[in-house]
C-alpha cells in the first residue's frame, strides 16, 4: 500500500489545498484560473486525498448554498 505521509508532507498538501481553494473562491470557482495551484495541489497530495478534498469541497459548497439560499423542498413535500 501507500506509505502514510509525514507531517511535513501533510502540511505541504494542506497548504497547497488551501491556496488552491482560496484561488477558486476568489475566481468564482473558475478552475482554469487556478491550474498552476491545482497541479501543485495534485503533486503534493496523495491521489486518494485529492479525491477526498474534491468531494469535500463540493459538499462544503453545497452546504454553504443551503445556508445562504435556504433549503427549498420540492412543492410536493410541503403538502402533507
Q: List pLDDT tens digits, range 2-48.
A: 577 899 999 999 999 999 999 999 999 999 999 999 999 999 999 99
Evaluate whether residue 16 is within a structural domain.
yes
Supply the pTM of this predicted model.
Answer: 0.77
pLDDT interval class at 76 (50, 70, 90): low
Number of residues in the chain? 80
Which of 44-48, 62-66, 76-80 has the least mean pLDDT? 76-80
pLDDT interval class at 78 (50, 70, 90): low
Question: How many other CB atoms are there within 10 angstroms of residue 61's CB atom?
Answer: 13
What radius of gyration, in Å, describes the C-alpha atoms of the chain? Answer: 17
Q: What is the pLDDT of residue 60?
A: 93
Evaluate whether residue 41 is within a structural domain.
yes
Evaluate whether residue 76 is within a structural domain.
no
| Rounded distance between C-alpha atoms, residue 3 and residue 17, angstroms | 20
What is the domain count for the chain? 1
Give the domain range for residue 35: 7-54
Evaluate whether residue 25 is within a structural domain.
yes
Evaluate whether residue 29 is within a structural domain.
yes
Amino acid at each position: 500500500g501507500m506509505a502514510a505521509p509525514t507531517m511535513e508532507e501533510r502540511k505541504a498538501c494542506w497548504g497547497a489545498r488551501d491556496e488552491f481553494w482560496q484561488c477558486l473562491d476568489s475566481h468564482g470557482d473558475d478552475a482554469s484560473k487556478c491550474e498552476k495551484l491545482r497541479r501543485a495541489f495534485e503533486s503534493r497530495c496523495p491521489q486518494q486525498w485529492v479525491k477526498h478534498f474534491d468531494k469535500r469541497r463540493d459538499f462544503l459548497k453545497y452546504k454553504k448554498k443551503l445556508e445562504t439560499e435556504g433549503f427549498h423542498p420540492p412543492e410536493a413535500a410541503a403538502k402533507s
